[in-house]
A and B are shown apart, each in its own frame.
Chain A
Amino acid sequence: MGTSADLHGVTDGKAAAGSGVTHAAALVSFAEAVVGGDDETLKQARAELLGRVGPEGLVDAAAVVGNFQRMVRIADGTGIPLDVSLEMMTTELRHELGIDRFGSAVNTPIPSRFRRTLGRWLRPLAMPAMKRVLALQARWARR
């Protein structure tokens, strides 16, 4: 890792191709087709994705989509709030991607001024910290 990705493809499927993720457009089309319900669209999306990522990749994709069809319903079915650290670190990202407009946002209390300020201070440190973690993981893996 250590590469950048544009996350707008998450909330706007048409932006997927510009995300920097390999085969992003085909992956997103597949996810949309599985969730969407139209069988013919899914058939085409599956064939496209299979051609791009191969049979093992297609199986992975179907499994991940299944997994998150589960996870979103756990979250929204139980009204869990966003974890505090995640809430602090993703304020701007959520706003930029339009995630704050989702109905279940009400399950996460508006943070205090202190927490908002702390989040602003910590966010610039998040990427260097993550790169450090990745470097350490790579070093351990080589041992």
Chain B
Amino acid sequence: MTSASDSLTSMTTQDRELRRSVGLNQFRKSPFRLLRLPSSATAKQAVWQCDKALARARVGMTLPDPDPVPWLANGDQMELQEASQTMESPLARIVEQLLWFDFTDDPYGSQLAQALQNADGNQLRAYAAVQQPVMAHKLNQLNLRLLLGFSLLRDVGPSVVPQSAAKEAARLAWQNQAGLQTVDDPHKAIRGAGALLGGQWAALLTDAVSGWGGLLAGDELAAHIRTKIDALGDELLGHDDMETILSAIRTRIADLVVGETKLEMASGNLANVGALSSLAGKSQIDSEVWLVAFKPLRTQFQSELADLQPEAETGNGLIEDVAAYLERLGTLADRWRPLDEAQLLGLATLIDEAVGDAFGRLRGVPREKQLEPRFKEVLDRVGQIAASGSIKERVKAYKDRLADVQKAMCHFCGKRELDGTTCASLSSQREISRTRYGNTIRVQYQVGARPVGRCPTCAQRHGFVKHAGSVAFFTLSSAVLFLAAIHPSTWFQSWDFGTAAFMVAVLVAVCWGLGFVGREIAASFVTPKGERRFNNYRESNAFAGLRGDGFSSMKYDFRPDAWELVNKQGVKARHGTDSGDALKWIVQIGVVILLIALRVCLAGGGHHY
């Protein structure tokens, strides 16, 4: 036994790694082993034995009794003291007692003690094959499997693999190739042996852990513990503490497996991590116990998740950023899946949380981008990576509703949501009856109007288009009228008045046409590629709706506030002559008449051109 202070630095790396093994430490640091105590020892005996062991350790001597598990390292002074303290705490002691070997009450206890002391694999196999209905024996069998399983995992202790099996695994398949004896894959033999060993520890631990799970769930163990409590006779521990003891054992077994899992993770042995978590899943110990035990390991996985850099930017926009992240996440999820088939490590939850975050980011993508096919592809990937049914369901629901939303989008751009205050309007009227009353004919019309879904941006664009057309027309026609009025001789030298007036009218009409051309030119500039032009109302739901209602001739108003005006003034008013437009026409015609009259007055009567 080494002194506490120097023991750490004097250890080899292998020693240190072995001492980190939680599973082996359960047996290495057992007070019954360190202090060479029988399972029935009293606290007082433990204290006395500890005093003796410590006194010996201080002068470099060990206890004279043989080490019951000689392939495990000795304890240092601090561990001896801890062992003694454990024995003084009745609850801790009984847990240790149950997880150690009872060489007395087990009918084959002496055989087991001998086999362990000699580290004899054959003897241990022989003991492991014995079955006895005595609880002490059952517990010894389970504890032996735990000890051997952890020992094999750490590659220490006796070999319990039958030699024949090892030889079989190591046998090389020699072939004669062109007169040479060859082996296809010499490493296969090594791999075979390794796999056998790997399988052996996992099998031993699976047996042990599920065996303990079974006992913990039954009544037999509780009865056994009651007798041990009675035998201990400590007023601080009673039958009322049964559940606490059972819970402590459950937790301890889970901690042993999780401790080893942690070491395997640190060493990068992911296959072993998977095997350990899988054996936990097969145990009959409540999954809550495992979840709590495995919880600390999550931080290591969480840091691996954080390494995926969820916020990293590709430079191609948010959708591509998320897509790239999902690809990395998918790769990680594929790697993690076999590690946590029993879902005790909570890796699926971690992946789901990450997927949920990515989904959240996708939902933040502007709506117009969400309607692009690429967005749907990325959304599909979210559903594929998520393990949780609820996330898959949410993705599906999102997609369905996205499709619905598409219907409520702006008819023109199809990217932005329509806004009720900026919709264009499509109105119509149809005659539904005509009744004659004497000289009067009363005609009844049905009017109908529907908004053509439009977003504020498109409404603004359309306003600009409308304005551009009007400006073009009024500018050109005013120029024509002005020139006709100011300097008629230049224009109308060889024409009589009637011809000249006709020509002016033609020119004004041409200007009117140019106004439309101006609109189209403006529209071609402002309408983004792939979007509908301002005058494309025939593909709208409103048009189809009105048609469906039996309306035929439509009046389309694409001014920014068209639908609001319908709502304010009513459909009928809007469907009649546009009073604003009419006024403009009246003014313009008045100006033309005025100009003509002016010209006539200036030229005097009977003047010839």
A binds B: no
